[in-house]
A and B are shown apart, each in its own frame.
Chain A
Amino acid sequence: DLQMTQSPSSLSASVGDRVTITCRTSQSVRNLLNWYQQKPGEAPKLLIYSTSILQSGVPSRFSGSGSGTDFTLSISSLQPEDFATYYCQQSYSIPNTFGPGTRVDIK
């Protein structure tokens, strides 16, 4: 199966900071890489699909880039409601694996 890694596993940041999270896959997934945000007690929420397409209703401070095996989620100016755990997921091959997650908390 295709393996997923994310870095860092956690980070501390302040409101207004720019945050970057990286996802790496063991084989190319072309552009079929998605990003989700999850807050405690809630289901994950789709932020970005197909590497860089912003899901409807998601603020424009979120952006995605990459291709092949290396992908990035960026938050341009961290807001209080952005403190959460972020997961990447590939939808290129079965099983549609999730990454291990990156926890973003308050510095």
Chain B
Amino acid sequence: EVKLVESGGGLAQPGRSLRLSCAPSEFTLDAYAMHWVRQAPGKGPEWVAGITWNSKSIGYADSVKGRFTISRDNAKNSLYLQMDSLRTEDTAVYYCVKDIRRNYFQGLDVWGQGTTVTVSS
């Protein structure tokens, strides 16, 4: 079964950092573009960041631009989200998501189970 497994969530104080990781099973990451999507409690999903297979095209939501960095290591078959200068409004479940395509963004067809990030003092 094609799956994505996130790790690295937890509790962080405002202004601190966390790094999320994502690893796939039953497929290789370098065949697809990848994304992070978050969902705050009781809210709809919010696209956070996306990256094409070769990292040549990267995009961010305005709410995280300059604070979050998406990256991938295809040799290690892993996707990352470095989250710096965390704010209370970053509290959410963060999903690692696979795109249908490799070199542009089209649709999000495989979602991880999500990892919870809580930002609180």
Contacts and interface: CB of A to CB of B under 8 A. Distances in A.
Nearest to A33: B107
The residue among A43, A49, A87, A99 with the most chain B CB atoms within 10 A of its own CB is A43
A25 interface: no
A44 B106 contact: no
Contacts, number: 59
B105 A43 contact: no
A7 to B, nearest CB: 15
B109 interface: yes
Interface residues of A, number: 24
B108 A46 contact: yes
A55 to B, nearest CB: 6
Nearest to B63: A95
A91 B46 contact: no
Given A94-B59, A95-B47, A98-B46, A46 B109 contact: yes
Interface string B67-106: 0000000000000000000000000000100001000011
Contacts of B45: 36, 38, 44, 87, 89, 98
Contacts of A44: 37, 45, 108, 111
B11 interface: no
Contact of A91 (B61, B105, B112): B105
Interface of B: 35, 37, 44-47, 50, 59-62, 95, 100, 105-109, 111-114
Given A46-B109, A95-B60, 10 more contacts: A34-B106, A38-B45, A43-B113, A44-B45, A49-B107, A49-B109, A55-B107, A91-B107, A95-B62, A98-B47
